[in-house]
Each structure stands twice: as C-alpha cells, then as structure tokens.
Amino acid sequence: MSPRESRPELPLDGMLVLDFSQFLAGPVAAMRLADLGARVIKIERPGTGDIGRTLAFAGLESDGDTLSFHIMNRNKESFAADLKSSEGLAEVWKLVAKADVIIQNFRPGVIERLGLGYEDVKKVNPRIVYGSASGYGSTGPWKDRPGQDLLAQSISGLPWVNGSKENPPIPVGLAVADIFTSTHLAHGVTALLLRRERTGVGGLVESSLIEAMLDLQFELISAHMFDPEVIVKRGAKNSAHAFLPAPYGLYETSDGYLAIAMTPIPLLGSLLDLDFSAYEDPASWWSKQEEIMKALATQLKTRTTEAWLAILDAADIWCAPVLSLPELVAHEGFAELDMVQKTQRSSGDGASIVEITTTRSPMRIDGRTVTSTRGAPHVGEHTEEIRQELLGGK
C-alpha cells in the first residue's frame, strides 16, 4: 500500500497519527487506529528503532524483526529521527504541526523533557488529540515502577482471581494489561476526534496498565467497596470463578476438557446420571461446592468430550469444549470467522517479499471485515518519502 493511498470506507481515513510509542500498549493502540483507516507514521530512533523489534514472543522473528513487532506495527510507516538532536526534533515538530493524533508511552516525564509533552504540543497544534499510556499514571507511589504487564497484573491483584484455593496466585498468560490499555487508549482517541469535530479543539487522553487492570476487575472492586466482607476466596479444584457456585468450571473428560457454566445442579445431575437430589436448594451449590464438583469431575472422566456435548447441547446447557491452540485454528468455526490476514513487506535486502500471517482487526465495518495487507516497516523506511511529501524536502 502506498503511504498516501486512501481508504474512504474506513472511519479514520484521512487522519494522521504520529506513533512515538514502543513495544506493546502504545504500538497496538496506534495499530488499532491504522486498522480503522488512519495513516500512522512511527517515529523511531535511527538504526535500532523500537525496542519491540528485538523483544520476541516465543523467540520468533522474521527478516531481522521479531514476529511481535511485525504483528503490532502492521500498516504503518517509519520515520527515523533522533529526538535528542536539534535537527531531528525540528523535523518532528513539522510533522507534529500537521498531525491529528500523537501516541506515546514513555515513562512519566520523559516525553516532557524531550519538549514533546501535551502542553507544549498543543501550543503549536491546538487541534491535536494526544494519547498517553503509562504503567501506573503520572503521580503516586507507583509512577516510577517499570510499566510491564506481569508487574501491573500483580499489583492489581489479578493473579489471586485465577485458579483454585489449592493454587498459588496465577497470572494471566497473555499481555492483558497492555492489550486492554491499547484498547482504552484507541477508544479515547476516537472519542476525542469526535469531540474535535464538534468543538474544533483537541485534547489529552491518558490510560495506564494499572487502570486497565482495575477496570477489568470492576465488578470485584466495586463489590468489595460496597461490602468489605467481599474478598477473593477461590473455590474447589475445578472452579473457574471465585464468585460463582458449582458447577461453574473446567472438567477433564476421557479425551480432553469440558467447560460448564451457570446450570441448575439438579438438572445437570439428571443429564449426567448423578443423584443430585440433595442439592435442590441453590444455597447448597455454594456450601457444597467442593463435593458437587468432585462428583462431576469423577463422572465426566468416564466419557469423551463429544459424548458429553451431545447430551448437554441437546438440553441447551451452557457448556463448551476446551480447545487447544491447534484444535482452535483447525476448527471450522475459526475459519468461518475469517480472522486471518496476510501482511507483506519487502525484505531488508530487497530481494524478496516477507509474508506474515496474523489475525485481523476483531470488528466489521458496514458488514465487512477490516483487513490490511501492508506489513510493518523497516526502521526509517519511509523517512525520505515523508520528507518530500510532508516536510517540503530537506
């Protein structure tokens, strides 16, 4: 795709985003804006670029960059600039004057020391929408801690929600703090762009890993503040939720695992050939959770997942197989969602095309999936082109 190609069917077509961010929360927020049609120019240090180019998910890389970088920075251009040099800053300021959006996720105070904080930028470009992500906000006792996903999960208490009472704290095995922060930041940016259409004035949206993790637990935290007696008390071995009674959980079958959600225990017993007549009172689904779930676990091991699904699905019970990653991507349901796209870029030596298979944006616009074939850029790949187009040449 040409840097100037328009996609008028997408809602953010024509918007210019400068992405100063690195690794995950900020780059993914900018990627979400690019998916929606915005033109995103990634501002990178010359030579090394975004640190995310070397931080590899599962140790995977292609064409000199990590797979993580490829999939988080699709559909972007790269402009190389040394923000600590007067020449580099002068060029960046010219871009800032033309931009609609800035995304940054430096530690608190760093972007301000570079002279590119919101208060300085809005003096030059009062229409700017400025998105800022951090680990723990810009004030308070946590503000200088490293803004990393596992650390934010841990401070938020999230690991205590996972697993059963037999387990130690268990973090979520994905970068949920970063991913949710990216979503909130992109959401805030689009909201401020809409406000700017009404008022002509830009604005600042801020979010952080810790705020994303607290928002993820809004039910739990709100309930505790309403009643301090509400605390996390993880349940029986198979339990999947500390605040829901039996049978809510995951159960081993003879060839896999089965998830069962909210279901009346007597009904479930009748379907599974279990005598659950002693549990007519829903209060017992809490007080006798462990013995109920133990009986379920023993019985469900006697047949295959598909055998149990045939029984439970016919009775419209809330249940599902627990798919492995290979089972998921091979499933016809996955294919029907059409969640896969392929991006392309020229290899570093220009001798071939590098193709990356990844997921697409998880939304549809006007009934159509949102996809892009344009791969992540090389460091500074579009610097000269951008200079000619937006900076009037050098």
Which residues are identified as catalytic?
A: 178
Alpha-helical runs (H) found in 99-175? 110-113, 118-124, 149-156
CA distances from 198 to 174, 194, 195 (A): 38, 7, 5
CA distances from 394 to 81, 277, 287, 378 (A): 13, 82, 74, 21
Alpha-carbon distance of 13 to 201, in angstroms, equals: 19
Are the C-beta atoms of 209 and 145 separated by less than 8 Å? no
Give the pair of three-digit tokens for residue 159.
Answer: 């690991």
Alpha-carbon distance of 392 to 141, in angstroms, equals: 46
The three-state secondary structure class of 44 is: strand
Alpha-carbon distance of 274 to 298, in angstroms, equals: 11
- How would you classify the pairing of strands 364-365 and 203-208? unpaired
DSSP 243: T
Alpha-carbon distance of 127 to 115, in angstroms, equals: 18
Amino acid, single-letter form, for residue 290: E
